[in-house]
Amino acid sequence: MSVLDRLKSLISGTKKDIDENLSNEANQEKPEESIGAEQTSSEEEIKSDSETNSKEEPSKIEVPVTEEEITPVVAEAEPEVEAEPVEEEAEAEVEAEAEEEIEEVSAEEVSEEETEESVENVVEEVSDEEVSLENEDLEDDTSDDEAEEAEVEEDDSEENEESDNMTLLKENDVYSMDDIDKEFTQKFIDAGLETVDHCFQCGTCGGGCPSGRRTPYRVRQIVRKCLLGLKEEVISDPALWMCTTCYTCQERCPRSVQIVGIIKMARNVAAQAGYMADAHKATGSFVIKSGHGVPINDKTKALRKAIGLAEVPPTTHALPEALEEVRAICAACKFDELIGFNMETNELE
Amino acid sequence: MEIAYFLGCIMNNRYPGIEKATRMLFDKLDIELKDMEGASCCPAPGVFGSFDETTWATIAARNIAIAEGMGADIMTECNGCFGSLRECNDMLKENAAKKDEINAILAETTDKQFAGDVNVRHFAEILYNDVGLDKIAELFNTNLDLNVAVHYGCHFLKPTAEVGIEESAENPTILDELVEITGAKSVPYENKMMCCGAGGGLRARDIDVTLSYTKEKLDAMAAAGVDAIVNVCPFCHLQFDVGQTEVNEKYGTDFAFPVFHLAQLYGLAMGLDAGELTLDAQLIDAAPALAKIAKE
């Protein structure tokens, strides 16, 4: 509880600052068009944005800008740099992070070269940029296209959880008490996963995680969010499903946190809330239909017969009454409803 | 000695040669493998355990109850089945409230109840602890002069604190010892203890991520220069067989490591041919490795 209290005070403090910024901004920018308004709304909805956009609107995902002074100069090079990760995200092909990092590095190298080539230009633009930064990043300056773009990018990178290439926390990574669902945390405790509370965030888990080095899956963050009760953020993140349950994290955890159990429980909640992939529903449907996640086929029947095994193994495949028991269990647990399976048509809906 | 033989899904429904070799091996060891009539999917720990714990635990408890009715411990030669059945068995033995909850569903839907009086054991662990390396080696008539990459998989040893077969999964030896009695040499390779990439529902949900894992493993095996891959899990087996062809397709590589479940490796050492072990039906051709054995 003390963690929540501390979080609460942290939130209320920071939130006040932001409210001030917003009213400040509102006074300054009246006549100007859309961009300021966009920023206002993105400030207010930063939570929901980071959830929905990072998942469904990959166009928001950009390589975070690490050096503001350079940014305006890089403007030309950026579309290329950004284009690739965006496409990859859209196709849910999560590429190795290393690749992104390399791209980012090369972008920085390019920008450094360009910086040298157009020093004067930079000096002008930098001063513009600095002025706007002093005004809490939010001041609108539509006369300067590049500065405008830089500001938009800052917002986007703040919203972008998945490509967290920056090491500095953003001021706008703020949660409100509305994001916290204590019942979500309680689910872990009730399920015997009270070790969620033992985690001291050392990061050993992520250090050994084979998924974390090729996908946006950040096991340490998820464990923390589960403890804090950030339910929506945890269950709506597709990265939650990038764990193969290999237990490397749990083996190495110095606090013996039952990490894999926590991930599976979080997935249970996600599935209940409708975040289940069609392919997983299909796997579930095979078990309802045949009792097996991987049912037998004609080729294997022939193989079995050829080597002197029973053509059909003595499982639910051979015993209809056994299959009925499995189906009855699925119905009693409402597993059919969970995956949208119609027992009468015997198909997924 | 009698054992309730849990088949699962992938082994009996895709790679029946593993089942054939296992039945022959245990016959020779004079251990009776009793069929678990009407058993189902374990169900898969990463996938079903991720969807709904209650459904997962009830189906697993039903499988365990079948073995309890036979009065025998369960043996499975699939890491995933081992993971699910062992975890559920432990959970219901330790948590009375959970056990009551699951038994209530079983009472409503089946004629079975979970009592908690059998153990769930892995094929490789039974061979190592109950039979012993020397006794197994007596059955062999063919020296397998192969360099192999031993793949432990995840749910055979981990989580070690609960499974207890090995104290640590960082540098285990049980499977290497079981492999080397055939004459095959277990070659060290990078990321030996890493996952094949198929588990946790990842293969179904995001095949590209899964293949990225598998490629990392295959690259390391290639660097070590092995003739074949040996595993103790039909799902890892499928991932190295089917997944290896998928990796070749996606990455333009030409990996061609034959894949043997430990039971199939023992089958070869007992002199069974590729057909009996259904190696000829696997996607990756086992012929190069088999030719190397024949030459010796």
User: What tens digit of pLDDT does each residue of A141-194 get?
Assistant: 444 444 444 444 444 444 455 555 666 666 667 788 989 999 999 999 999 999
Nearest to B160 among A241, A251, A317 (CB): A251
Q: What is the pLDDT of residue A196?
A: 96
Residue A123 reports pLDDT greater than 70? no
Q: Please give the average per-residue pLDDT across B153-162, as a whole number.
A: 98
Q: Please give the average per-residue pLDDT across A9-28, as a whole number.
A: 47
Q: What is the pLDDT of residue A12?
A: 54
Q: Residues in chain B, how many?
A: 296
Q: What is the pLDDT of residue A163?
A: 56
Q: Show the tokens assigned to A107.
A: 């972008």
Rounded Cα distance, A20 and B119, in Å: 64
Q: What is the pLDDT of residue B294?
A: 78
CB neighbours of residue B47 within 10 Å: 27
Q: What is the pLDDT of residue B47?
A: 84
Taking every pair of C-alpha atoms in chain A, what is the biggest distance, in angstroms? 84
Rounded Cα distance, A230 and A234, in Å: 6
Residues of A in contact with B103 (CB under 8 A): none
Residue A84 reports pLDDT greater than 70? no
Q: How do strand A341-342 and strand A347-348 relate by DSSP bridges?
A: antiparallel
Q: What is the pLDDT of residue A165?
A: 61
Rounded Cα distance, A149 and A65, in Å: 11
Q: Please give the average per-residue pLDDT across B192-214, as a whole number.
A: 97
Q: How confident is the model at residue A51 (pLDDT cuts 50, 70, 90)?
A: very low
B104 CB within 8 Å of a chain A CB: no
End-to-end CA distance of chain A: 43
A315 CB within 8 Å of a chain B CB: yes
A166 CB within 8 Å of a chain B CB: no
Span A250-294, pLDDT tens digits: 999 999 999 999 999 999 999 999 999 999 999 999 999 999 999
Q: Please give the average per-residue pLDDT across A55-76, as a whole number.
A: 42
Question: Nearest CA to CA, how far is A65 from chain B (Å)?
Answer: 27
Q: What is the pLDDT of residue A116?
A: 46
CB B229 within 8 A of CB B259: yes
Q: What was the ipTM of the complex prediction?
A: 0.96
Q: Please give the average per-residue pLDDT across A118-126, as a whole number.
A: 44
Residues of B in contact with A307 (CB under 8 A): 16-17, 20, 275-276, 278
Strand partners, B120: B74
Best to test chain B binding among A315, A323, A335 (most B CBs inside 10 Å):
A315
Q: How confident is the model at residue A134 (pLDDT cuts 50, 70, 90)?
A: very low
- Phi/psi for B291 (5° steps) reads -65, -35
Q: Show the tokens assigned to B179.
A: 């492999």
Q: What is the pLDDT of residue A8?
A: 56
Q: How confident is the model at residue B54 (pLDDT cuts 50, 70, 90)?
A: very high
End-to-end CA distance of chain B: 36
Residue A91 reports pLDDT greater than 70? no
Nearest to A287 among B23, B41, B216 (CB): B41
Q: Please give the average per-residue pLDDT across B212-222, as a whole number.
A: 98
Residue B88 reports pLDDT greater than 70? yes
Q: What is the pLDDT of residue A94?
A: 41
CB B148 within 8 A of CB B141: no
Q: How do strand B120-122 and strand B32-35 relate by DSSP bridges?
A: unpaired
Buried b (16+ CB within 10 A) or exposed e, B240-274: bbbbbebbbeeeeeebbbbbbbbbbbbbbbbebeb
Q: What is the pLDDT of residue A5?
A: 57
Residue in A6, A304, A58 with CA at minimum distance from that of residue B278 = A304
Residue in B135, B115, B112 with CA at minimum distance from that of residue B1 = B135
Q: Is B159–A260 a contact, with Cβ atoms under 8 angstroms apart? A: yes
Q: Show the tokens assigned to B73.
A: 């411990």
Contacts of B179 (CB under 8 A, 6+ apart): B148, B150, B186, B230, B262, B265
Q: What is the pLDDT of residue B70?
A: 98
Contacts of A1 (CB under 8 A, 6+ apart): none
- Summarize chain A as % helix, strand, coil (round to 5): 65, 0, 35
A4 CB within 8 Å of a chain B CB: no
Q: What is the pLDDT of residue A167?
A: 64
Helices B234-251 and B207-224 cross at an angle (nearest 10°) of: 90
Q: What is the pLDDT of residue A28?
A: 46
Rounded Cα distance, B235 and B248, in Å: 19
A214 CB within 8 Å of a chain B CB: yes
Q: Is A293–B39 a contact, with Cβ atoms under 8 angstroms apart? A: no
Q: What is the pLDDT of residue B46?
A: 82
DSSP state of A63: P
Rounded Cα distance, A42 and A45, in Å: 5
Indicate the helix (H) or strand (E) that contains B107.
helix B96-109
As separate numbers, helices (DSSP H) first and strands (DSSP E) second, chain B gives 15, 8
CB A246 within 8 A of CB A223: no
Residue A25 reports pLDDT greater than 80? no
Q: Please give the average per-residue pLDDT across A44-67, as a whole number.
A: 43
Q: Please give the average per-residue pLDDT across B232-237, as a whole number.
A: 98
Chain A's closest residue to B11, CA to CA, is A294
Chain A's closest residue to B94, CA to CA, is A192
Indicate the helix (H) or strand (E) that contains B148.
strand B147-151
Strand partners, B228: B148
Average model confidence (pLDDT) across chain B: 97
Residue A324 reports pLDDT greater than 60? yes
Burial class (CB in 10 A: 0-12, 13-18, 19+), A218: buried
Q: Is A268–B52 a contact, with Cβ atoms under 8 angstroms apart? A: yes
Question: Nearest CA to CA, how far is B209 from chain A (Å)?
Answer: 7
Rounded Cα distance, A148 and A138, in Å: 10
DSSP state of A60: G
Span A210-258, pLDDT tens digits: 999 999 999 999 999 999 999 999 999 999 999 999 999 999 999 999 9
Nearest to B109 among A287, A321, A329 (CB): A329
B205 CB within 8 Å of a chain A CB: yes
- Phi/psi for B2 (5° steps) reads -120, 140
Rounded Cα distance, B204 and A279, in Å: 6
Amino acid in the structure at residue B196: C
Q: How confident is the model at residue B269 (pLDDT cuts 50, 70, 90)?
A: very high
B159 CB within 8 Å of a chain A CB: yes
B250 CB within 8 Å of a chain A CB: no
Q: What is the pLDDT of residue A174?
A: 79
The single residue listed with the structure tokens 């403890």 is A227
Q: How do strand B32-35 and strand A347-348 relate by DSSP bridges?
A: unpaired
Q: How confident is the model at residue A9 (pLDDT cuts 50, 70, 90)?
A: low
Q: Please give the average per-residue pLDDT across A41-56, as a whole number.
A: 42
